[in-house]
Amino acid sequence: MTINESHAASRAADTAHLWHPWRPVLGSLEQLVLVEGRGCRISDDRDRSFLDLRAGTLNAILGYGYPGVTEAIREQAERLSTWDLAEATTVPAALLAAKIAALMPGPLSRTLFCNSGSEATEAAVKIARMWHRLDGRPERTVVLSYADGYHGATSAAVAATASAFRREGAGPLPGGYAHLATPHCTVCAPGERHTGSGCVVPGRAVWEEQIRAIGAERVAAVMVEPVLSVGGVIVPPAGRLTVLRELCDRYGMLLIVDEVATGFGRTGRMFGFEHDLGAPAAPDLVTTAKGLTGGYMPLSAVTVREDIYRAFARDPLLGGLRHGHTTGGHATACAAALAVLEAVENEDLVAAAAERGTQLLSLLEVLTQQAGVRAVRGRGLLVGVEMSTIELAGAVSRAAQERGVLVRAFGPVVTLAPPLVISAADVALGAKTLIDAVQSAAGEAGI
């Protein structure tokens, strides 16, 4: 079979058999068939090249074809592809757990491996509830999260969001979840430009009132993202995470920070919570995925305080955590993660993300004066351009693709989250292309 025949067969198979997530079944968009990636560029079956400003699904932090990672995967797969961590350990899993502990603040020293961000959410919630039960507080089962937060697509993760788009038709969902007001402007109307002047952002007073209304004695944990990704690239004002830490301490709740999208350099710090928190005021549990393996293998993690881990010795049925997955801590995935984290450190990609993120936001500042744009915001290399409508955001994404740049439109926000290895020249090219795309889409919409 020739390459052209293979590509044609792939298109036919896609049309006949593949179910794409988060896509209309009767979509009218041309389906990209991507065949190769190198660095920050992706090529399709029609020899078109695209600059990737979304890092796949925000996970390809090293871009594509990074030699050290592909070599680590091959070597580990040939040596020992996987094993059951319930029965033994593997060298990559043990070393990766130690590496994550070294990157986290001191109290966070013990890691459980899963396969996806959604699974990490499920595990973190179960750990929080079980921990309270083991400490004699079985009534503490409620998990609080931001109303606009996103923690995955499995049942418990969906229950942790208030989004009708994600919840409708999925019920009955698990109980034991409630929501805190998102730290985002509550005054500006949809379609109205955010100016910062006169914006009202919920904080301590609102959250404490909500916690008391729910009953603080019933709450097991508060689970939040340091920057809300799918929820619209919402960057809470400085200090909001510190406020939640203080409220958790006051009312005996655990603080779970969801770093699935923000961990390992994305925001210009190793972890997003570090913009507000550090030892000893660290989170109690942290979930990670996406950048952990740079998208090369499926892997996620839940990292907890050592005393939380040791409390499970009191579990009456096992003396440990009654939870796990067949491929959680897959040896080859852990080897990939070790190679990714080595590259992040050796290439100083955390600092690079901060520098390139500042550049990107600066270049996109001109869009704050563009009709149809409500706001431009972000932290590090996680940037959102909020449009006045969902339809306009989709039009911007399509216009960018036509110009050779791939971005992500979800709701009214166009998200840019390129690989951390992106160059200053490609940031400039991507920003220019997006500006052109926004102006073109707004013009065609008559705005």
| CATH placement of domain 3-65+349-444 | 3.90.1150.10
Q: How far apart are CA 326 and CA 298, in angstroms?
A: 13
The pLDDT confidence band at residue 340, using thresholds 50, 70 and 90, is: very high
d(CA 398, CA 433): 12
DSSP string of 164-175, one letter each residue: HHHHTTSPSPPS
Tell me the pLDDT of the chain averaged across its residues.
Answer: 94
Domains of the chain: which residue ranges?
A: 3-65+349-444, 69-346
**pLDDT score of 194:** 67
In this predicted model, what pLDDT tens digit does every residue of 381-411 receive, in sequence order? 999 999 999 999 999 999 999 999 999 999 9
The reported pLDDT for the residue numbered 223 is: 98
For residue 41, what pLDDT is reported?
98
User: What pLDDT sits at residue 172?
Assistant: 87
- Say if residue 27's pLDDT is above 80: no
- Summarised one tens digit per residue, pLDDT across range 60-83 is 999 999 999 999 999 999 999 999
The pTM (predicted TM-score) of the whole model is: 0.95
- pLDDT average, residue stretch 214-241: 96
The predicted structure's pLDDT at residue 28: 59
Quickly name the fold that domain 69-346 has. Answer: Aspartate Aminotransferase; domain 2 (3.40.640)
pLDDT at 416 over 70: yes
**Strand 177-180, strand 142-146: pairing:** parallel
Q: Which two tokens stand for residue 313?
A: 């010795």
- Specify the DSSP element, H or E, that contains 104: none
